[in-house]
Amino acid sequence: MNVLLQANEIDTTADPALPRWVFLHAVRVTVGRTPVWVTATALLALLALAGALPWFTWFDSSLAHRYEPGALVRGLDETFRFDHRASRGAMDAGASSLGGVLALLAMLVGAFTAGGWLQVFLEHTEGHSVLRFFYGGSRYFFRFLRVLLLTLLMLHLLGWLVTGAPWKWLVLDNCFGLSDGDLGALPSELTARKIVFLQDGLLAFGTAIVLAWGDYTRTRLAAHGTQSALWAGLCSWTLLFAHPIRSLRPLFFLWLAEAGVLMIAGNINGRLDATLGPDSTKLTVFAMLALGLCALVWRSITRGAHYSVCAQITRSLVRPLARPDPWKRSVGGPGGPRYPIEVGDGDEYGVSL
Amino acid sequence: MRGMLARPWRGAGWLVLSVLAGVARAGGGPREVTPNRVDYRIEATVDTTLMRLAGHEYIRFENHTDAPTSELRLHLYWNAFANNRSTHLIGSNGELRGVDIEDGWGWQRVTSLKSGDTELASTFTYEHPDDGNADDRTVLRVALPVPIEPGATAQFEVTWEAQIPRCRRRCGYQGNFLFISQWFPKLGVFEGSRGWNCHQFHSNTEFFSDYGTYDVSIDLPGKYRGKVGSSGVVDNVEPHGDRVITHCSAPALDDRMRLDASGRAPLVHDFAWTADPDYQVRHFPFSFDAWKDKFETEITTSVRAFGGEKNIRLRNVDVQLLMQPEHADQWERHGKAACAALFFYGLWFGEYPYSQVTCVDPQWGSAAGGMEYPTLFTAGTSLWTTPEMHSPEFVTVHECGHQFWYGLVGNNEFEASWLDEGFNSYTDAEVMSRRFGLRSSTTDYSHVPFFGVAPVSAPGGGVLDNFLSARNIPLPWTSFALTPVRNSGFVNLWRDQPQLAFVEEFSDARSQQRGGYLGDPDRDQIDTPAFRYVDSRSYGVNSYRRTAVVLRSLVGVVGYEPFLRGMRHYSEQWRFRHPYAQDFFDSFCEGAGVDVHWYFEDLFRGTGTVDWSIDVQQQRESERKGVFQAGPADEFVALDQKKKEETPAKSEPADEHAPADAPKPSAAKHDEDSPWKARVLVVRHGDLRLPLTIELRYDDKSTERRTWSREDQAATHWLSIEVSGKKKLVAVVIDPERTYFIDTDMSNNSWFDATDRVAPWRWTERIFERYVHVLHWQAGLGG
């Protein structure tokens, strides 16, 4: 049978027994799916490469024979930046446009990889992980596209609440007397900065919650095999409000783990960068590239681990859907083989009357 | 009239001194102009409830011109903030510092002006000499009953009232914070046969007035006690009831008696003051001895430049700092920056002759920062800055530097703003690069600076990009758009991962000025009245950056030490006077000992630009091929045959160990011995012609310099240099000392035989990292 096309049983049974450290278990499970996170990493890396490659040609042609070798390895001086402002600006504008396309593709890739991860985790795939990954990605793609649209709507709503009229009325006007929203009228810069901190902090927190909601919604859709993103989304909000700690804590720890590793990688990156100079070779550059790829790998793993966490939490907190008994309507005599009558997806054993 | 009775003899003494000094400098120098002198005694009372100011002043005017005047013209600057029909607000489109003005208006009204016992209020008219705007009330004309003859002195008594504006353009109030400048009816400058120089207050212009002394008493609520700063010094504080009167004098009384190094008694041409109950007052001393040991090279260069005859020692100065509480920890940084300006500007242009300079850290949101007044200036800083960011260092150096260009050399800021702004811009960049080095660029996340910048922009910016990246999704058939992805400090920080994806970027103040100039290099000439530039951008470019770049390039023409001599000579000659462009040109040439009027004509009174480029073709001399003739009567023979005839056969001894089919050693080794042949083509694009140095560097580490003169550049737009020999050219560089900052494109000023193999990889890797993290974040939206 074609493994890719096989609709294996998704494990929807409730599993109340969670490991003590859900997020660690999720990371372990995800790390074990090496081909999957390699694939997920490669997809993103290819997109990034598409954006970066044109710049190699640009730098090669801009520097050729015009600058002393090594002079611009450490930094691009003001004179270079200015003299090349026109072509660099054109490149940047083009990169920005290309970046828009890449950003859209990235969101679609994100939806795809989410489906892939969920297929792998919910199915408890053994072997053929990559094929099941691609199967899941394509299977759930359009459902997760609807979730993406809902995510964008919710982010817009969040942004409006925190930066739009409600904020201006409730916080700026009522709390600080700034009817025109002019922070310059405040008595001190520190007060103004605190307000901005609060606003940005709320936006960041809200964004994190919305993205977590998105993860649970996708997990519910995959786990229950349902189609309605809206209904799954409402149920996910219910889950988050009903069990905020249990649902969000593992995701928070995952975020901490991701941020921690990125900070360490950033520190190493800074040290490597500081060694660059006129006599540097490509070795340092490739070392930085390798470091960056390792950081991306870690981020792919933690992204996958998000779905492992969501799958575990969903199984433990959410009752499986009651599914109709495919054998309820069937033909066949007692004691003998029985055949269902075209229920469910209609498997090859269905009998048409 | 406190102090006034004793003053006439001081004034006369100053007059005698200035006349004698003028005679001493006579003989082929610039036009001899003894400026007028105007002394003020002002008493003001401020009602901080209504934000009203009631003022009374005595003006003593000495006419040192050769013409009489039958009128006075006074500036009433605050009337620019009375309504949106003033010339100032029309020029700024009704906005001040980006804020559409709806309230907080200000005005000034002279209620009485007497000459002796004669009331002159009935002769008041508003004048509009620049644009004929009848709604503009910033120039008041008063007809005099009796003309003021040349050499005569007249005194006037003025009473006025004013509404203090909300501080949006350098002056006004913001809460309890008061910054009061251009606040009293101020005489314009009478220029004799040229008449009164008293322009309207435009959005692009600053100020111009005569030198003199100021004695000011300010009556404020008691909460301002000890928290007043002013031009000059605060002499004493006199409480009365729940109020306090602060007495100030500018220059300080002691300074008026102390002749400066050039033999003149110090004067000032304006008076500003500030008050804030929250000020933290600190003092930071400037001592020449503490600085000279740190910069011995500068001292040596200056002594050499000025012939060892100039007294370069500078007086000690007290830097008074008025800091906002939340910036109090930055007071030392402000102090050090001010001292840097006092040291370098004083070393190069002559000492700062006053005992004190006051640096003000203005209230948040007041828009009073970054402005200069005699012996007082406002800086401006923010929380969480570091010295590498050059904030507040840069603005402090710049504004303190204005004490020299504008404060001591009092150019007409309406008609020749570049004489102070451009000169100051040149000098502050020199100070910054010597004292503070390169500036490190930062990226702000929720106003918290992170070192480094993104190598490329994040997706978005255009309509399509914004749509695709979910930054702005217009909804069809509506004017509504979704904005799911917004700029927000912490979200952007997570998206960007600056510690992994950003690059360090450094800026040099001098190169930044070049960039600023080249942003708009040729729409206006530098020597243009400030209100006549095509727009505010042209004003900014030409008054500030282009002048600085042109001065810096002048160093490349005349040499650094002659340049210093020229500038010093000009600054000393025109101290406490009002120079114009030609005065500077003449004085500089005289001091530098070189005639560069052509440079000034081309660069200050023209809009020409120049770009020199270089191209090199180099190869080994090709192998000789063809038939050659030894002499006219000889036959042409092929080269091989000719060589056989001329050269006994030379053969390598047979290698008896070499295999039979091994390739024979080449008989022609001349390729590796052939001389190198190179053609260096230097091309001049543009109208300007400056003497150009071209440096050729060879693989044996030797160098050779050639010069392309102005005269040769007039003949052709290109220069071809042919070199041949055993040495290989490894680099050719135009203007190796990098002094010609006016070159519009320096990227074509060099040629190198080798190419950089690492840099393209390095920068592509950075851009790859940038995309990786941005796209990873974006992918997270989808799943």
Per-residue 3-state assignment (H helix, E strand, C coil) for A80-119: HHHHCHHHHHHHHHHHHHHHHHHHHHHHHHHHHHHHHHHH
| CA separation, residue B718 to residues A33, B557, B680, B750, B753 (Å) | 67, 20, 10, 16, 21
Distance from CA of A316 to the nearest CA of B (A): 22
CA closest to B168 among chain A residues: A184
Which 148-177 residues of chain B touch chain A by CB within 8 A? 174-175
> Encoding tokens for residue B162?
């004013």
Record: contact B765-A292, CB cut-off 8 A: yes
pLDDT, mean of residues A228-253: 96
Over residues A56-87, the pLDDT tens digits come to 999 999 998 999 999 999 999 999 999 999 99
SS3 content of chain B, % helix, strand, coil (to 5): 30, 30, 40
Regarding predicted confidence, which is higher, B249 or B654?
B249
The per-residue pLDDT for A350 is 54
The answer to whether residue A282 neighbours chain B at the CB level (below 8 Å) is yes
- pLDDT bin (cut points 50, 70, 90) of residue B538 is very high
How far is the C-alpha of A239 from the C-alpha of A212, rounded, in Å? 11
pLDDT, mean of residues B628-639: 89
At B334, is the secondary structure helix, strand, or coil? Answer: helix
The answer to whether residue A273 neighbours chain B at the CB level (below 8 Å) is yes
CA closest to A255 among chain B residues: B494
The per-residue pLDDT for B309 is 58
Closest to A47 (Cα-Cα) out of B346, B573, B469: B469
Over residues B699-754, the pLDDT tens digits come to 999 999 999 999 999 999 999 999 999 999 999 999 999 999 999 999 999 999 99
Residue corresponding to tokens 């406490």: B576
Record: contact B499-A78, CB cut-off 8 A: no
CA B700 from chain center: how many Å? 42
Amino acid making up residue B568: R
The per-residue pLDDT for A332 is 75
In sequence order, the 6+-apart residues with CB closer than 8 A to the CB of B93 are none
- pLDDT bin (cut points 50, 70, 90) of residue B655 is very low
Q: Identify the H or E element spanning A159.
A: helix A141-163
- pLDDT bin (cut points 50, 70, 90) of residue B29 is very low
Record: contact A266-B500, CB cut-off 8 A: yes
How far is the C-alpha of B422 from the C-alpha of B513, rounded, in Å? 10
Asked if A269 and B452 touch (Cβ cutoff 8 Å), the reply is no
Handedness of CA B774, B780, B781, B783 (dihedral sign): positive
Distance from CA of A167 to the nearest CA of B (A): 15
pLDDT, mean of residues A206-225: 96
Record: contact A193-B494, CB cut-off 8 A: no
The per-residue pLDDT for B199 is 95
- pLDDT bin (cut points 50, 70, 90) of residue A345 is low
The answer to whether residue A207 neighbours chain B at the CB level (below 8 Å) is yes
At B144, is the secondary structure helix, strand, or coil? Answer: strand
Q: What percent of chain B has pLDDT over 90?
A: 82
Chain B environment of A188 (Cβ under 8 Å): 324-326, 364
Q: What ipTM does the predicted assembly reach?
A: 0.90
How far is the C-alpha of A218 from the C-alpha of A225, rounded, in Å? 10
- Whether residue A244 is predicted with pLDDT greater than 80 in this model: the reply is yes
pLDDT, mean of residues B583-603: 97
CB-based burial label for B410 (10 Å; 0-12, 13-18, 19+): buried
Record: contact B505-A76, CB cut-off 8 A: yes
Which 489-508 residues of chain B touch chain A by CB within 8 A? 489-491, 494, 497, 499-501, 503-508
- Whether residue B537 is predicted with pLDDT greater than 80 in this model: the reply is yes
Asked if B145 and B115 touch (Cβ cutoff 8 Å), the reply is yes
CB-based burial label for B342 (10 Å; 0-12, 13-18, 19+): buried
- pLDDT bin (cut points 50, 70, 90) of residue A329 is low
Say how many C-beta atoms besides its own lie within 10 A of residue B192's C-beta: 15
The answer to whether residue A2 neighbours chain B at the CB level (below 8 Å) is no
pLDDT, mean of residues A2-31: 71
- Whether residue B228 is predicted with pLDDT greater than 90 in this model: the reply is yes
How far is the C-alpha of B412 from the C-alpha of B403, rounded, in Å? 15
- Rounded to whole angstroms, the maximal C-alpha distance in chain A is 90
- pLDDT bin (cut points 50, 70, 90) of residue B463 is confident
- Whether residue B666 is predicted with pLDDT greater than 80 in this model: the reply is no
The lowest-confidence range among A203-212, B119-128, B422-431, B620-629 is: B620-629
The answer to whether residue B441 neighbours chain A at the CB level (below 8 Å) is no
CA closest to B488 among chain A residues: A200
- pLDDT bin (cut points 50, 70, 90) of residue A328 is low
- Rounded to whole angstroms, the maximal C-alpha distance in chain B is 125
The per-residue pLDDT for A342 is 61
> Encoding tokens for residue B454?
């993104």
CA B250 from chain center: how many Å? 26
The per-residue pLDDT for B11 is 42
Say how many C-beta atoms besides its own lie within 10 A of residue A39's C-beta: 18
Residue corresponding to tokens 């702004």: B421
Record: contact B457-A265, CB cut-off 8 A: no
pLDDT, mean of residues A221-249: 95
Q: Identify the H or E element spanning B356.
A: strand B356-360
The answer to whether residue A275 neighbours chain B at the CB level (below 8 Å) is no
CA A147 from chain center: how many Å? 13
- Whether residue B645 is predicted with pLDDT greater than 90 in this model: the reply is no
CA closest to B749 among chain A residues: A66
Asked if B222 and B243 touch (Cβ cutoff 8 Å), the reply is yes
The per-residue pLDDT for B7 is 40
- pLDDT bin (cut points 50, 70, 90) of residue A142 is very high
